[in-house]
Structure 1
Amino acid sequence: MKEVITLIKEQISNIGIMFRISKYQDKSDYQSHYLGLVWEYLYPLIQIGIYWLVFGIGLKKGTSNGIDYLTWMVIGITPWFYMNATTLDSSKSIYQQVGMVSKMKFPVSVLPTIKVISNLSSFWAMLIFSIFIAYVKGGIVPNVYWLQWFYYFFAMICWLVAFGTFNSTVTILVRDYRIFLQSLMRVLFYMSGVLFNFETNAFPAFFVRILQLNPFFYIVSGFRESMLGQDWFWQKPLLMLIFWLMVLFFLLVGSHLHYKFRARFVDYI
């Protein structure tokens, strides 16, 4: 627990630097492209269009529990795109920058969190787009359930920081881990309720319960429940407890591995 507290202190004390670095990285990543940062917003929109054509029109999935499929999908795919990009980026954050950081007084533990921050710009754009689609296509308007969106956003950030700390360290220790993580995220894309509504009578109850243990599933479902005004987060106390226990587990293990091997990161690379 001492290592977790140290990790949190490093994040808080360097929050200004993290925002400045994330802003710089966003500009440097797209400086050689004609459209620049526009691609950061354009790519997710193209992906949404493809999935809607395939699953919303091509497979005749017009509605999901009476809700327009495009509305239902966009609300869920918005946090997924952000979590997927952040998970993969944070997993290689230390590996890519440890050489530079080792030469200056800069806490390596904040590198995964910088990726969490830098991907937020596209997330906000996607969120605005999803709200617009929800209003135009589904007639969804703000209601009191939208207040719990802040809870799920906070939960998402905590999960990404904990999971990112773990992944970024293990990627250095086990070189093949990043390939495994990429494959895992591809599987989780289809198993996290992004494109298919598993919480219906069409799927066995025990199968759905297993899927609900997935933290990504919890966040995606939570965003939908908030935007569509279906349930409050405290109405599923067991799933909430399991989610936060998983956040704590990866935070404990990730911070322990990070501080145990941090002095030798350069040697491993």
Structure 2
Amino acid sequence: MVILSRIYAYIENFYLYLRLIFVQRYLICSMAKREVETQYIGSVLGFIWAFVQPVVMITLYWVIFSVGFKVQPKNDVPFVVWLTAGMTSWYIFADIVNGSSGIILVHAHLIKKTLFYPNILPVIKILSSLITHAIFLVVLIGLILLQKMPVSGYYLQFLYYLACLCVLALGLSWAVSALNVFIRDVGQIVNVILQIGFWITPIFWDLQMMPPQIRIFFKLNPMFYIVQGYRESFIYFLPFWKHPYQTLYFWIVAAFTMFAGALIFKKLKPHFADVL
């Protein structure tokens, strides 16, 4: 009974944790808007820079791999489209997690001097990152139309995979943002892990290149599910329920990550003001 009551208490606290995000939704939207505006304040081109970075990045990788290394189309799909579909999902994930690692330190003045709920800060980062994500999507759809590839209602399925990504990223962001307050090396460690994760996730390369016996290890990476899902939404037009076991595995990992991240943040939050 003691164990059950403790589990119930954890679940109830987690529910209240999520409910707080809903209660603070107007503040979250306002701060996310302000964060986007401050990124380009003082620059001559302003918001145009948000378009320049994705276009330059995709063009650079396309020239290197398609023109330089002569990478062939994947299953009759132009490599630049295949690559962009994978990068679109990874870029926002890396931006959220990497940006959240130091977000408590950046807003230390709010935590020390006002009645503020710091657990909403990673949510603010997620909302602000959606702007760049939308630009990546525009570029992706533009490339699809330019290559005269078919258009489908399956495009809307990306919203499901985006929700998957946000749940996973939010759990990780809560954990790394809280830990970074006490161990300042966490931000650097996160950056290194994301660089490794970029190359072990099938973004530039196809999983079919690997021997069958080791493919399962790459599929254990939860970002594989999301990257592949974006491609299935924009290129292959496959519904997410075609992979029931992968879907179940992903949500188990994502739910555990989100719950663990919230627990870590909740345990460390009372000590933020003493360290900042």
Aligned to 1:2, the other structure's residue is in SS state: helix
Residue identity matched to 2:241: W
- The whole-number CA distance in structure 2 between the counterparts of 1:173 and 1:9 is 27
C-alpha deviations, 1:162-192, integer Å up to 9, x for none?
2211221122232211111100111111111
1:174 aligns with 2:183: yes
1:217 aligns with 2:224: yes
Contact preservation (8 Å) 1:143, 1:229: no
1:107 aligns with 2:114: no
Contact preservation (8 Å) 1:91, 1:167: yes
Which piece of structure 1 moves more, 229-238 or 17-26?
229-238
What residue in structure 1 maps to residue 87 of structure 2? 77
1:122 aligns with 2:132: yes
Candidates 7, 13, 20, aligned match of 1:3:
13
The alpha carbon displacement at 1:98 in A equals: 2.8
Aligned to 2:205, the other structure's residue is in SS state: coil
Aligned to 2:107, the other structure's residue is in SS state: helix
Candidates 165, 168, 174, aligned match of 1:165:
174
C-alpha deviations, 1:6-27, integer Å up to 9, x for none?
2211111111111111111111
1:246 aligns with 2:246: no
Contact preservation (8 Å) 1:152, 1:223: yes
Aligned to 1:196, the other structure's residue is in SS state: coil
Give me the TM-score of the superposition, normalised by structure 2: 0.91
Residue identity matched to 1:213: L
- The whole-number CA distance in structure 1 between the counterparts of 2:113 and 2:275 is 16
What residue in structure 1 maps to residue 151 of structure 2? 142
The alpha carbon displacement at 1:230 in A equals: 4.2
- The whole-number CA distance in structure 2 between the counterparts of 1:145 and 1:26 is 29
Contact preservation (8 Å) 2:219, 2:225: yes
1:50 aligns with 2:55: no
The alpha carbon displacement at 1:32 in A equals: 2.2
1:228 aligns with 2:270: no
Structure 1's 134 and 250: CA in aligned 2 closer, same or farther, altered over 3 A?
same
The alpha carbon displacement at 1:266 in A equals: 2.2
C-alpha deviations, 1:141-164, integer Å up to 9, x for none?
322433422211211121221221
RMSD: 1.5
When Rg is computed on C-alpha atoms for both structures, the one with the higher figure is 2
Structure 1's 206 and 178: CA in aligned 2 closer, same or farther, altered over 3 A?
farther
What residue in structure 2 maps to residue 197 of structure 1? 206
What residue in structure 1 maps to residue 8 of structure 2? none
The alpha carbon displacement at 1:54 in A equals: 0.9
Structure 1's 54 and 66: CA in aligned 2 closer, same or farther, altered over 3 A?
same
C-alpha deviations, 1:64-117, integer Å up to 9, x for none?
122110111111111111111111111211121133233222211000110000
Aligned to 1:194, the other structure's residue is in SS state: coil
The alpha carbon displacement at 1:267 in A equals: 1.9
Contact preservation (8 Å) 2:152, 2:237: no
Contact preservation (8 Å) 1:87, 1:163: yes
Q: Which runs of 5+ in 2 are unaligned?
A: 1-10
- The whole-number CA distance in structure 1 between the counterparts of 2:24 and 2:154 is 33
- The whole-number CA distance in structure 2 between the counterparts of 1:122 and 1:256 is 29
Residue identity matched to 2:88: T
Residue identity matched to 2:109: G
Contact preservation (8 Å) 1:30, 1:37: yes
